[in-house]
């Protein structure tokens, strides 16, 4: 099975930026779509962004469109989430997940493997 490890979270002020990193244990990760999801305290898990296996296709939640950028470096088994102009409502645990499909997926149920999450806290 694929092990996913997220990093890069932290505590920042509104308007600042963070880059999240997801590193997978092997190259199987690179054959499938990857998504970023987040879960705020007391709320349901929410789709953030997804990228297909080649990195050619991307899709974002409306709430982050224009502020967040998903990318991948398959040579490093790595997916990134660049988060700019952060808002307090972006505060959540962010999870990297891998689908068993290679096309874009926005439903959490379509992802098989999940990382442990990294905390992002944005203060006003």
Angle at 15 between CA 58 and CA 38, to 5 degrees: 45
20-75 pLDDT, tens per residue? 999 988 777 788 999 999 999 999 999 999 999 999 999 999 999 999 999 999 89
**How many CA atoms are closer than 13 Å to the CA of 4, on its beta-carbon side?**
27
Strand pairing class (58-60; 118-123):
unpaired
Question: Do the beta carbons of residue 80 and residue 20 sit within 8 Å?
Answer: yes
pLDDT digits (tens, 9 = 90+) for 41-54: 999 999 999 999 99
Q: Phi/psi at 113 (nearest 5 deg)?
A: -115, 140
């Amino acid at each position: 099975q694929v092990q996913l490890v997220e990093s890069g979270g932290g505590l920042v002020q509104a308007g600042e930026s963070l880059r999240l990193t997801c590193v997978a244990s092997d190259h199987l990760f690179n054959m499938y779509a990857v998504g970023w999801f987040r879960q705020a305290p007391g709320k349901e898990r929410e789709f953030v962004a997804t990228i297909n296996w080649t990195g050619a296709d991307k899709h974002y939640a409306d709430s982050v469109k224009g502020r967040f950028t998903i990318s991948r470096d398959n040579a490093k088994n790595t997916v990134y989430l660049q988060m700019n102009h952060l808002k307090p409502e972006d505060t959540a645990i962010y999870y990297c997940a891998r689908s068993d499909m290679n096309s874009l997926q926005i439903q959490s149920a379509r992802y098989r493997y999940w990382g442990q999450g990294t905390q992002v806290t944005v203060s006003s």
